[in-house]
């Protein structure tokens, strides 16, 4: 019983971070209608930004994650204006080619610039844990979870309470009508792509606080990201956050019955089952 | 207020509307009539700026706007109720109305909202509901209110009565008269010719992309061609 509670608590905390990583992918699809296969590579770049901020500026990765957001937001917005904008109305095949190409370029650029080694950060709280009742709570998981909750709340506020947020939602739902009322949708597409990739990068910075980064970190997270987003319904921001928590819990519960090395087996099984039986996601509606 | 000269345009190399000249005076209500595929919606799209290819002159309050991008026209005072309503379905009715005022980006919208609610009390009751869950007539009310929130000098309505029950058509047309009484010019596109002619001062009849006939609503009501073709008398 305690083992189950422990697994649920771990799953909740890790899952909250998964939500932040995946919400960017969902946002990009919801607003631009593009499946960004390079999304996890933007996360990897965010992890490197946070690592360099820790190494050379002495910033905690949870603080450095803010820098990851800003840097990758700018990069993402630029990539949208220069590359993605050209294939906005192109057939899906062209869109897949471009974003997969971007994935390869980003991964190999990272290899060239940063080398193949795994890099980790050291923080004072990394090995600490709290006892809450019978449950062990790792301080780095807990602080990562708190950061994820703050980011999700901030995103919700921006999307519902600001003019730019309303314009983003309006553009996602009906770009023609948004244009009629003064929204420059080309600008919104750049902002939304920057915001989406920036959020994944921010999530990457948070992940770095208890994990490591290498040029192939993206491929470690890409299936997880897509599972979360498909679970929550592609394009749904709320769905991605909830989906993240569910995936975190499934992963963590699976370690109770399977060796920890097989935790991705549970993930893949669920991903395939979802695609087979409920491709619109648990929260998504069939149309989108 | 709006002056159109020799306007041609369409979606590709072949024009859908050709050499159209049309005027709307300050505070006037004008109807654009014609059968399906006559080019009415194409003409509207030229005015609001969403038509891919246009040539000729559209002057709004003396300024040529033909090359002005669509998202910059609403700030000049042109607001549109598009065909098929196009409300933001998953946003609340209130957020839909606020999006109408997007070009002003101010939170101080109390009196504009009050004007909308005076026109359609039902919209006030539905404020918190997602616009996509409303009935067709209610969505039309939201679409009209959203356009009014832009603070327009000219309101362009594309088939606002399409698919609505007769009672709702009367309510929408009544609202158009009230809007015009506030000094806002109206361009009304309708297939429902007889009821449209009761609302407007003047009308243009569009046929195969060109203006076939124009006149005051009384002239058009008495015109033999209009009576035979559109009024079925």
Does residue A177 sit at the B interface (CB-CB below 8 Å)?
yes
What is the rounded distance in angstroms from the CA atom of residue B175 to the CA atom of residue A106? 56
Rounded Cα distance between A31 and A42, Å, is 18
Interface with chain B: mutation pick from A181, A184, A189, highest number of B CBs within 10 Å:
A181
- Do you know the residue count of chain A? 288
Please report whether residue A194 resides in a domain: yes
Check CB contact under 8 Å for A185 and B71.
yes
Q: How many CB atoms are closer than 10 A to CB B181?
A: 9
* Cα–Cα nearest to A75, from A193, A208, A204: A193
Q: Which of B151, B185, B207 is the last residue of a domain?
A: B151
Contact A169 B90 (CB under 8 A): yes
Sequence-distant (6+) residues with CB within 8 A of A176 are: B50, B82, B86
Q: How many domains does chain A have?
A: 1
Q: Residue B26, Cβ neighbours under 10 Å: how many?
A: 12
In this complex, is the C-beta atom of A179 within 8 Å of any C-beta atom belonging to chain B? yes
What integer pLDDT is reported at residue B202 of this predicted model? 95
What pLDDT score does A288 carry?
37
pLDDT at B195 over 90: no
Q: Is residue B210 part of a domain?
A: yes
Residues of A in contact with B89 (CB under 8 A): 173-174
* 3 state SS of A202: helix
Name the residue range of residue B113's domain.
78-151
Are residues B71 and B156 both part of a single domain? yes
- Is residue B143 located within the same domain as residue B216? no
Which secondary structure element, helix H or strand E, spans residue A260, and what is its range?
A: none
- Compare CB distances from B88 to A177, A182, A184 and report the shortest one's residue: A177
Q: Among A224, A231, A221, which residue's Cα sits nearest to residue A274?
A: A231
User: Domain check: are B114 and B64 in the same one?
Assistant: no
Q: Are residues B73 and B179 in the same domain?
A: yes
B18–chain A nearest CA distance, Å: 24
Distance CA B144, CA B147 (A): 5
Distance of alpha carbon B208 from alpha carbon B36, whole angstroms: 9
Query: What is the pLDDT at residue A287?
Result: 39
Tell me if residue A131 falls in helix, strand or coil: strand
Query: How many Å is the maximal CA-CA distance in chain A?
Result: 58
Q: What are phi and psi of B23, to 5 degrees?
A: -130, 145
Domain membership of residue B166 (yes or no) is no
Mean pLDDT over B88-117 rounds to: 94
Same-domain check for residues B144 and B92: yes
Residue A284 maps to a domain: no
DSSP A138: E
Chain A neighbors of B112, CB-CB under 8 A: none
Give the pairing of strands B2-10 and B17-24. Answer: antiparallel
B77 contacts in A (CB within 8 Å)? Answer: none
Residue A113 lies in domain: 2-277
Token pair of A193 as six digits = 């792509």
* Chain A residues close to B75, C-beta within 8 Å: 182
Query: Is B46 inside any structural domain?
Result: yes
Q: How far is B100 from chain A (nearest CA, A)?
A: 6
Same domain, B180 and B110: no
Q: Mark yes or no for CB contact B103/A182 under 8 Å.
A: yes
Q: pLDDT per position in chain A (288 positions), as tens?
A: 889 999 999 999 999 999 999 999 999 999 999 999 999 999 999 999 999 999 999 999 999 999 999 999 999 999 999 999 999 999 999 999 999 999 999 999 999 999 999 999 999 888 889 988 889 999 999 999 999 999 999 999 999 999 999 999 999 999 999 999 999 999 999 999 999 999 999 999 999 999 999 999 999 999 899 999 988 888 888 889 999 999 999 999 998 888 888 878 888 888 888 888 887 777 665 433
Report which of A253, A151, A144 is spatially closest to residue A195, judged by C-alpha positions.
A151
Print the SS3 string covering chain B. CEEEEEEEEECCCCCCEEEEEEEECCCCEEEEECCCCCCHHHHHHHHHCCCCEEEEEEEECCEECCCCCHHHCHHHCEEEECCCCCCCCCCEHHHHHHHHCCCCCCCCCHHHHHHHHHHCHHHHHCCCCEHHHCCHHHHHHHHHHHHHCCCCCEEEEECCCCCCCHHHHHHHHHHHHHHHHCCCEEEEEECCHHHHHHHCCEEEEEECCEEEEEEEHHHHHHCHHHHHHHHCC
Q: Mean of the per-residue pLDDT values for chain B?
A: 93
Residue B54: inside a domain: yes
Q: What is the pLDDT of residues A30-53, one digit of tens each?
A: 999 999 999 999 999 999 999 999
The answer to whether the CB atoms of A180 and B80 lie below 8 A apart is yes
**Pairing state of beta strands B29-33 and B154-158?**
unpaired
B28 and B115, same domain (yes or no): no
Chain B nearest-CA distance from A16, in A, is: 25
Q: For residue A267, give the 3-state DSSP assignment.
A: helix
A285 within some domain: no
Distance of residue B19 Cα from the nearest chain A Cα, in angstroms? 25
Nearest residue of A to residue B89 by CA position? A173
Q: Are residues B156 and B65 in the same domain?
A: yes
Mean per-residue pLDDT for B77-90?
Answer: 96
Q: Residues of A184-212 as b/e, b for ≥16 C-beta within 10 angstroms?
A: bbbebbbbbbbbbbbbbbbbbbbbbbbbe
Query: Is the Cβ–Cβ distance between A28 and A39 less than 8 Å?
Result: yes
B167 lies in some domain: no
Do B93 and B69 belong together in one domain? no
CB–CB of B102 and A166 under 8 A? yes
Residues of B near A (CB-CB distance < 8 A)? 48, 50, 69-72, 74-75, 79-80, 82, 86-91, 95, 98-100, 102-103, 105, 146, 150
Q: How many contacts (CB atoms, under 8 Å) link A and B?
A: 66
* Distance in angstroms (rounded) separating the CA atoms of residues A252 and B125: 46
Which residues, 6+ apart, have CB-to-CB distance to B136 below 8 Å? B85, B163, B164, B168
Residue of chain A with shortest Cα separation from B104: A182
Cβ contacts of A184 on chain B, cutoff 8 Å: 69, 71
What's A83's domain CATH number? Answer: 1.10.3470
Contact A177 B82 (CB under 8 A): yes
Residue B160 in this model has a pLDDT that exceeds 70? yes
Residues B51 and B88 in one domain: no
User: Is this complex's ipTM strictly greater than 0.90?
Assistant: yes
User: Residue A203 and residue A20: Cα distance in Å, rounded?
Assistant: 5
**What does the block give as tokens for A88?**
């906005």
Give the model's confidence band at B232: pLDDT under 50 very low, under 70 low, under 90 confident, else very high: confident
Say which CATH number the domain at B231 has.
Answer: 3.40.50.300
Establish if A283 belongs to a structural domain: no
- Percent of chain A residues past pLDDT 70, beyond the cut: 98
| Total domains present in chain B | 2
């Amino acid at each position: 019983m305690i083992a189950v509670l422990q697994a649920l608590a771990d799953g909740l905390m890790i899952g909250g971070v998964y939500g932040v990583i995946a919400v960017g992918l969902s946002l990009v699809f919801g607003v631009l209608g593009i499946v960004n296969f390079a999304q996890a590579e933007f996360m990897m770049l965010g992890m490197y930004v946070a690592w360099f901020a820790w190494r050379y500026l002495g910033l905690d990765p949870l603080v450095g994650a803010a820098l990851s957001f800003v840097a990758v937001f700018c990069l993402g917005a630029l990539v949208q204006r220069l590359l993605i904008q050209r294939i906005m109305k192109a057939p899906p095949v062209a869109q897949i080619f471009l974003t997969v190409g971007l994935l390869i370029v980003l991964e190999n650029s990272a290899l060239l610039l940063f080398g193949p080694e795994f890099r980790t950060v050291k923080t004072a709280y990394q090995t600490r844990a709290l006892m809450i009742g019978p449950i062990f709570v790792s301080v780095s998981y807990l602080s990562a979870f708190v950061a994820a909750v703050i980011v999700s709340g901030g995103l919700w506020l921006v999307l519902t309470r600001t003019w730019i947020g309303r314009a983003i939602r309006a553009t996602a739902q009906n770009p023609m009508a948004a244009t009629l009322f003064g929204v420059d949708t080309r600008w919104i597409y750049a902002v939304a792509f920057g915001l989406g990739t920036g959020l994944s990068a921010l999530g990457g910075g948070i992940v770095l606080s208890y994990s490591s980064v290498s040029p192939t970190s993206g491929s470690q997270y890409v299936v997880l990201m897509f599972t979360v987003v498909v679970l929550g319904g592609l394009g749904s921001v709320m769905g991605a956050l909830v989906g993240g928590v569910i995936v975190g819990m499934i992963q963590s519960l699976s370690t109770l019955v399977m060796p920890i090395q097989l935790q991705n087996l549970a993930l893949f099984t669920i991903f395939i089952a979802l695609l087979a039986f409920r491709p619109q996601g648990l929260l998504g509606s069939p149309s989108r | 207020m709006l002056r159109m000269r020799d306007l041609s345009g369409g979606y590709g190399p072949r024009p859908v509307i050709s050499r159209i000249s049309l005027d709307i005076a300050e505070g006037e209500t004008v109807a654009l009539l014609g059968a399906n595929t006559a080019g009415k919606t194409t003409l509207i799209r030229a005015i609001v700026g969403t038509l891919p290819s246009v040539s000729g002159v559209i002057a709004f309050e003396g300024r040529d706007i033909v090359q002005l991008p669509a998202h910059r026209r609403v700030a000049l005072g042109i607001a549109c109720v598009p065909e098929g309503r196009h409300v933001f379905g998953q946003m609340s009715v209130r957020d839909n109305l606020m999006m109408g005022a997007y070009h002003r980006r101010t939170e101080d919208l109390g009196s504009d909202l009050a004007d909308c609610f005076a026109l359609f009390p039902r919209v006030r009751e539905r404020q918190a509901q997602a616009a996509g869950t409303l009935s067709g007539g209610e969505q039309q009310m939201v679409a009209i209110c959203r356009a009014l929130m832009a603070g327009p000098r000219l309101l362009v309505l594309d088939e606002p009565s399409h698919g609505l029950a007769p009672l709702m058509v009367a309510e929408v047309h009544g609202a158009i008269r009230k809007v015009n009484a506030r000094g806002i010019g109206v361009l009304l596109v309708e297939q429902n010719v007889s009821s449209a002619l009761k609302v407007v001062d003047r009308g243009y009849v569009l046929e195969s992309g060109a203006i076939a006939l124009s006149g005051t609503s009384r002239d058009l009501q008495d015109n033999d061609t209009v009576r035979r073709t559109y009024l079925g008398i």
